[in-house]
Amino acid sequence: MGGERYFRTLPKSFLDLKRIPYQHLRHPPAFTAGQLAAAKHVPGDMVAKTVIVKADGEFAMAVLPASRRVKLPPLRDSLPARHRRLATELELRTLFPDSDAGATSPFGNLYELPVIAEESLAHDEQVLFYAGTHEDAIRTKYDDFAKVVHPVVCAFADAR
């Protein structure tokens, strides 16, 4: 098995190790979380997208529904920093060489990154997210996701 394939199975291996039930779903290429929702015929609120924020030189993972946008000011309490901004594409490629650009799974703990989850995600029983490629997704219970990731939960997003 080549190195690239090994890394792309990291989210599934992690869930297997933690004994978390999940479904691995294949789908036609989807390059945005909204396209993933359409491909799997689920509402955008059920699809979790991963956004990387840089706060005073440190990265953090913000996980929110595909149907919402990150608002940086509300992250002030969860990411106490003078300067907060979204990570650049080059930073993303460096941080996540094992994932397709824009298809990073929301397991910040695999990358030693803190995770902040939008509180609206916690209201859904299940969550669907990329599994490292634009053709692979994972569906699991939100509570199981939270049990292994231990995210800080706060309101930091608004509707598009």
pLDDT tens profile 131-148: 999 999 999 999 999 999
Please report, for the domain that includes residue 122, its CATH number.
Answer: 3.90.960.10
Average pLDDT of span 37-64: 93
**Count of domains forming the chain:** 1
Terminal Cα-to-Cα distance of the chain (whole angstroms):
41
**Residues facing 158 on adjacent strands:** 69
With CA atoms as reference, report the closest residue to 58 among 8, 116, 99, 105. 116
CA dihedral 7, 8, 10, 15 (to 10 degrees): -170
pTM, rounded to two decimals: 0.89
Query: What domain range includes position 21?
Result: 3-159
pLDDT for 8 equals: 54
With CA atoms as reference, report the closest residue to 102 among 151, 30, 153, 39. 30
Task: Give the tens place of pLDDT for each residue, 79-97.
Answer: 888 888 999 989 999 999 8
